[in-house]
Amino acid sequence: MLKQICVGVAVLMGVLAEANGAFMLMSPEGWYFAVPGVTDTGPFNQHFVRDIGLIFLFVGGAYLFGVMEPRYRVISWAAPTLWLGGHALFHYWEVAVGICGPSVLIRDFPAVTLPAALGVLITLWAIADARSTRSTLTERYS
């Protein structure tokens, strides 16, 4: 059951990241004005939005690749999780140094902190699953 939940979360995160990245690439200005709080971060910069859109395509692709290729799941989920975690920590840093007020953490939670936390949880599960699979194979073939 836990495996299905973790894989399902990875599929959802992958699909949402792919959709977000595609939106950022195809309509950077539309994305800039559609996402709450983005206009508060500075003036519209098409190049920057598209750069981050490419990152989201990578993030989504990595989660989906890990779903399809379990033997590469740990690295496929850890890499995008590191980026998502760094992104979330950056948002907390902005609040800590006074660039933003604490209310932005609540506003940004669903799109910034939650994906990072979910990524950590499914990556930790993938590590534990890989270890148990290896130990089962070792026992079976020893």
- DSSP single-letter state for residue 72: G
Q: How far apart are CA 37 and CA 6, in angstroms?
A: 29
Count of structural domains within the chain:
1
54: tokens are 């490419």
Residue 100: which domain range? 2-140
Please tell me the pTM assigned to this model. 0.91
pLDDT above 80: residue 138: no
pLDDT band at 89; cut points 50, 70, 90:
very high
- Compute CA distances 64 → 42, 72, 73, 85, 104, whole Å: 32, 11, 9, 18, 29
pLDDT attached to residue 100: 92
pLDDT (tens digit, 9 = 90+) per residue, 16-55? 999 999 999 999 999 999 999 899 889 999 999 999 999 9
SS3 category, 43: coil
